[in-house]
Amino acid sequence: MSHTAHIRSHRKPRSRTASTIAMRAGVAGGILSTVAVAGASAAANAAEPVTQTLELPTLTADLSAQVAQSAEATQLAAANYQLQAERDAAAAAAAKEAAKDLAAAKKAEARKKAAEEARQAAAERAARDSQRTTLAAAADTGSSSVSTSTHTSTATGSAAAVIDFVRAQVGDAYVSGGTGPNSWDCSGLVQAAFRQVGIDLPRVSQDQSTAGTQVSLDNLQPGDILYWGGAGSAYHVAVYVGGGMFVGAQNPSTGVVEKPLSYDPPSGAVRVL
């Protein structure tokens, strides 16, 4: 046994009040609670993802109205743009069609004017040349009748008028598309000649070669239309004036000439008188 075992301690025994004990118990309990809560929170965080919710501002009545008006204005602008595009396309198409109609009208007016000028000039020249033709024929036959066939016949009436007209144009220039009064192509001359007697022939050689009754080259009469090439596909026409002769607008080198059939034998003939 220690030599001091019988001696009482000189320190005073600690006195623990109830409040002290309670405080310490509370601190300890708080620490333990904090640790428990922290552990539970960590476990929860590890188990579930964190979701963050953002609150958008609430549209006011005025702002909603402005948004609606803006959308409506955008739709209206798009509709107006489409409508204007359709109107522009329609206007362009109408202008193109009007241009075509105007060009056609101008061509028709030009043809009408050329035909009228040809008619007037032809009437003047026919009257002037009529006496010359009659005198020349009288000198050849010794009479006042005109020999106008490979056989013997006399041109009268409409045939005589047609012949007078084409002979009056002898010496005029040949121009492709010419319809007079001082230049002609072959079908333009033939068309103008028959117009003098009220017969409206087609404008081109192909159509003139089928405009009347087909006749044999051995039985020609004055005023018959001669053609070169096939009937319906002729490339040249002239007027038979009798005596084995024809008058036609031949080419740019010769112009309008009177020539014998042997100069350029035709393929066929049609009769419209």
Task: Write out the chain's pLDDT in tens, 273 residues.
Answer: 455 555 455 555 555 554 554 455 454 455 455 544 445 444 445 445 555 555 555 556 677 777 777 888 888 888 888 888 888 888 888 888 888 888 888 887 777 776 666 665 555 555 445 544 443 444 344 333 333 333 334 567 899 999 999 999 999 999 999 999 999 999 999 999 999 999 999 999 999 999 999 999 999 999 999 999 999 999 999 999 999 999 999 999 999 999 999 999 999 999 998
Q: Which residue type sits at 194?
A: F
3-class SS of residue 253: coil
pLDDT at 51: 54
DSSP 263: G
The DSSP symbol for 52 reads -
Pairing state between β 173-174 and 245-251:
unpaired
| Domains of the chain, each with CATH number or no CATH | 125-271 (3.90.1720.10)
- Cα separation, 62 vs 258, whole angstroms: 98
Cα–Cα distance, 201 to 207 (Å, whole number): 8
Q: Where are the extended beta strands (E) located within 143-244?
A: 173-174, 183-184, 213-215, 225-228, 236-242
Instruction: For tokens 């000189």, name the residue.
Output: 10
What does the pLDDT read at residue 135? 38
Handedness of CA 52, 56, 58, 64 (dihedral sign): negative
Residues 6 or more apart in contact with residue 210 via CB below 8 angstroms: 231, 232, 270
Q: What is the CA radius of gyration of the chain?
A: 59
d(CA 170, CA 241): 13
C-alpha 62/C-alpha 16 separation (Å) is 72
pTM of structure: 0.46
Please tell me the predicted confidence (pLDDT) of residue 61: 67
Asked whether the beta carbons of 186 and 217 are under 8 A apart, the reply is: no
